[in-house]
Amino acid sequence: MISEDKHGSLPRPPSADPLRQADVLSNATVRAAEHLGLPNTVLARVLGLSEASVSRLKNRRFDLPPGSKAYELAQHLVRLFRGLDAITGGDDAASRSWMRGENLALRGRPIDLIQSVAGLVATLAYVDRSRARI
């Protein structure tokens, strides 16, 4: 049985804490970018941030602000990584190759496409559809 705190309200689970969520998403974004081989310039364009902010993000001196556009775009990037990782069986070299290869269905290279919101969403949808088939 869950007990109430001294103020009479139920405790919030740790995942409900926005600051904790920002920390987790920020770290996941950095790791996804590393696994996909995204340079700071590309990650900055994907998230709509400056390269300096991306550098601070990677050095854990900055977290993506909850509710911001960068936060939302990071969620999409992490989903893209997770979907691609599932398709490639965790093979980072295959994921990096896919990101840099010309994709006829997407009409471009995913690494270029994800640098716009529309391209990121389209690439994520493509990976989600591909993942559903396996």
More confident residue, 106 or 18: 106
Assess whether pLDDT exceeds 70 at residue 50. yes
User: Does 91 map to a domain?
Assistant: yes
Owning domain of residue 89: 18-133
Residue 114: closest CA among 47, 52, 67: 47
Give the confidence band of 132 by pLDDT, cuts at 50, 70, 90: confident
Domain count, the chain: 1
User: Does 124 map to a domain?
Assistant: yes
User: Does 65 map to a domain?
Assistant: yes
User: Does 57 map to a domain?
Assistant: yes
Residue 85: closest CA among 19, 21, 33, 26: 33
User: Does 4 map to a domain?
Assistant: no
Give the confidence band of 17 by pLDDT, cuts at 50, 70, 90: confident
